[in-house]
Each structure stands twice: as C-alpha cells, then as structure tokens.
Structure 1
Amino acid sequence: MSETFEVIAQARTDEGKGASRRLRRQGLVPGIVYGGHKEPQMITLVHNDLLRHLEHEAFYSSLLDLKIDNEASKVVLKDLQRHPAKPFVLHADFQRVSMAEKLKLTVPVHFENEATAKGVKLGGKVSHNITEIEVTCLPADLPEFIVVDMADMDVGDIIHVSELNLPAGVELTHAVEPETPVVMIHAGYGGATEEGEEGEEGGEGETPA
C-alpha cells in the first residue's frame, strides 16, 4: 500500500454505556478489535488522533498497524458509529487480519477521465450509481480503490459491475448484482437541438392570422 497508518490504542476493561460516556468526556473513543482467531478485545483511542486518520480516504480501505499497549497487529476498519449531529466518533470496530486468509472490505470507486470523456464533451451528464463496492482478496492484494476509466464513454454508454477492471487477486463479492450500473452518461437536458432550432426558424416565417 502507498500509505501506512499507525493507530495507537490502549486496552480497557470497563464496559457499559456509562463507562463509554466517561471515556468520551475525556476525549477518548471506545472501540473493539476482533477476529484473527483471538478473543475480542475492548480498546480506547484518542478521539482527535482518530479524526485525523479519518480525513484520509485510504484509511477506510487499507491495512492498519494497530498498537495496543505496544503490541502490534494488522487490522482493517470495519465500522464507525458517529454522532448524528456533531463531528464526534462514538465507537470504532477493527478486525484483525491474517496475511494468509482472504478478507472482505468495501473500497471506494474512483472515476478517471470523467471531465474529458467523449459523452461529457458532447454535453452529456454523468450519473454515478455506485461509489464504493465490496471486494474479497488476500490482505496483500487489498486495493485502496477501484479505477473506472471513463475516457471512451459516449452519450448512452453504461459501465456495469461485471465490466469493472479489477486488480490481480481481487474479486467482487455477491453483494451487488453483476449487471448493476456503476456509471452512465445520459443526454443533457435543456440544451437546444438542431430540430428545435429549425422549428424556431420556421415559426418566424409564418404570417400571423
């Protein structure tokens, strides 16, 4: 991966909503790490440090170095609970990974050459139907994102899930049907057409009743 994220955490033993509220008042985020053929472990993270990581899109789809009281393990971020109205993270879930076992993770879809696509140059409008997708692969093959090259797309063209160009070792899960549209270019609205322009010219030549 192009970026390495180190997440610092501490083990915790206190449970319950009251304990979680106390942690949040101290600027900490309660969390849990599970998987990897080990027992789940409750942890805490510094809220502001976690927020800085979350500013990077790659953080959501990368292998992370999680250090709990100086013991390191490879994990991926599996879930976040955010406050519905405030910029606060309420809880974080991490999953341990084994480099020899495949994992499932949702990764973003990046659309390249959109502004210069054939159909866009002709006035077409782009509709993104899918902006992230679930993949399965070995941790070493985990992509930060899936690339969709739109350079040759014309008005009316559609790229389906089955047409995605996946990196080596990466497969799609069955979370999305193969014929689901990922992106399409449809005709623009409100623009004058040649037929409309001719109609206007013809109207000017008529004699009012």
Structure 2
Amino acid sequence: MAASYELKASARNRVGKGAARALRREGLLPAVIYGDKKPALPITVPIKESTLNLHKGGFLTHIGVIDVDGEKHQVIAKDYQLHPVRDELMHIDFLRVSANTTLTVDIPVHFLNQETCPGIKRGGVLNIVRHAVEMTVPANAIPEFIELDLAKADLGDSLHISAVALPKGCQPTITDRDFTIATIAAPAGLKEVTEEESED
C-alpha cells in the first residue's frame, strides 16, 4: 500500500479552543488519528505541509503516513475543517488503515469520447447528474477515478452505473437501483422543432 504523502507529527496533550489557537500561531494544526479498534490519538501536524497536500487534490482518497514522534501510522484523511472566512485549514481527522480496511469514498467520474459522442455531435448536451460516485473500496486499491464511455451515447440517452467497468473490489454504496450518472440532453431549439413536427 504505497503512501502518497508523509507528515511529521507530535502527540498533543492540550485540547480546547485556546490550545488550538496557540498551536496555529506556532504553524501547527490540531488533528486526530482514530480507528482500527485503537484509542483516538490527538496530534499536531505542520499547517504548511498539510495545506499543500490538501491542494494537490485527492486528499480524501490518498493513503498517507503520519510519523508521530517516530511511530508511523498509515492513514487516510476522513474529514477536515476550514476557517469559514479565511478558508484556512483548522483541523483534520485521520483514519488508520490496514491492508484489509475498506473505506467509503467519493470517486470522480471521467467521461470518455465526448468529441465523438453521436448525441453531442448532433447538438446534444452532456448533462452530468453525478460528478462523483460514493463507493466502498479497499484501502490498498482506491481508484483515482472511474470512466464512462460516451462513444455510443445518442440524444435522449441516460447512462447508468451499470455502463461502468468497476475496478476489482469496488462497489457503489447505492445497490438497490441502476442509478443515472449522466444524460445526453437535446438542446432547447431541437426539442421545440421535434414537438412541432409531432403536432403536425
């Protein structure tokens, strides 16, 4: 399970708003590591490196390593809080992961062959219902994205999750229906012409 980032951290004894403010003045961020049937571990991580990793993308889907005073923990960021005005990181929750951990994460959808899609070539519009799909995935094989091929999609078509080749061990959290990811919508002008023709 390759880690995409590593952060140096220290165990945190002080908790509360006053302590958190003091830490941020020192360039440190309060965080916590939990899960894997072990006690929660309050820590501090550097604000600068944590912010860089957040802005690189995939922060909530990439495995990382937190080195807490020499002890390494394999983790995934499960949640983070931003300052409501300044948009700065305020707190991060990390979840411990092992080779048999499964996670629920949002996986982005990539759309293939938009330029050759018959419905789009005829003036249709790709209407994206879901930019990402919530999936249960193995922690050691989190896909960066899933792909939906538009090569045969025509005007009026709905494209469902069943049209996606899902990576091994990954499944959507919605299992009771074949939900829609995107549709190829006819443009307004074309709809009006079609309605007039049907009236004639």
TM norm structure 2: 0.85
Identity, % of aligned positions? 35
Cα pair distance change 1:31/1:179, threshold 3 Å: same
Paired with 2:17 and 2:136, the residues of 1 have a C-alpha distance of 34
Paired with 1:195 and 1:36, the residues of 2 have a C-alpha distance of 58
Cα pair distance change 1:110/1:70, threshold 3 Å: farther
**Unaligned ranges ≥5, structure 1:** 197-209
Paired with 2:98 and 2:39, the residues of 1 have a C-alpha distance of 15
Paired with 1:87 and 1:173, the residues of 2 have a C-alpha distance of 30
Contact 2:12 2:42 in 1 (8 A): yes
Paired with 2:2 and 2:111, the residues of 1 have a C-alpha distance of 19
Matched residue type, 1:186: A
Runs of 4+ in 1 over 4 A off after TM superposition: 190-196
Q: In structure 2, what is the equivalent of residue 157 of structure 1?
A: 157
Helix, strand or coil: the match of 2:21?
helix
Contact 2:159 2:180 in 1 (8 A): yes
**Unaligned ranges ≥5, structure 2:** 196-200
Cα pair distance change 1:37/1:153, threshold 3 Å: same
Paired with 2:176 and 2:57, the residues of 1 have a C-alpha distance of 25
Matched residue type, 2:24: R
Return 40-49 or 187-196, whichever deviates more.
187-196
Helix, strand or coil: the match of 1:50?
helix
Helix, strand or coil: the match of 1:140?
coil
1:144 has 2:144 as partner? yes
TM norm structure 1: 0.82
Q: In structure 1, what is the equivalent of residue 54 of structure 2?
A: 54
By how many angstroms is 1:160 displaced?
A: 1.7
Deviations 1:131-178 (A, max 9, x none): 12222232222212222222222111111234332101111223x753
Cα pair distance change 1:194/1:108, threshold 3 Å: closer
Paired with 2:184 and 2:118, the residues of 1 have a C-alpha distance of 10
Paired with 1:121 and 1:2, the residues of 2 have a C-alpha distance of 42
Helix, strand or coil: the match of 2:60?
helix
By how many angstroms is 1:56 displaced?
A: 2.3
Cα pair distance change 1:56/1:147, threshold 3 Å: farther
1:122 has 2:149 as partner? no
Cα pair distance change 1:164/1:119, threshold 3 Å: same
Structure showing greater radius of gyration is 1
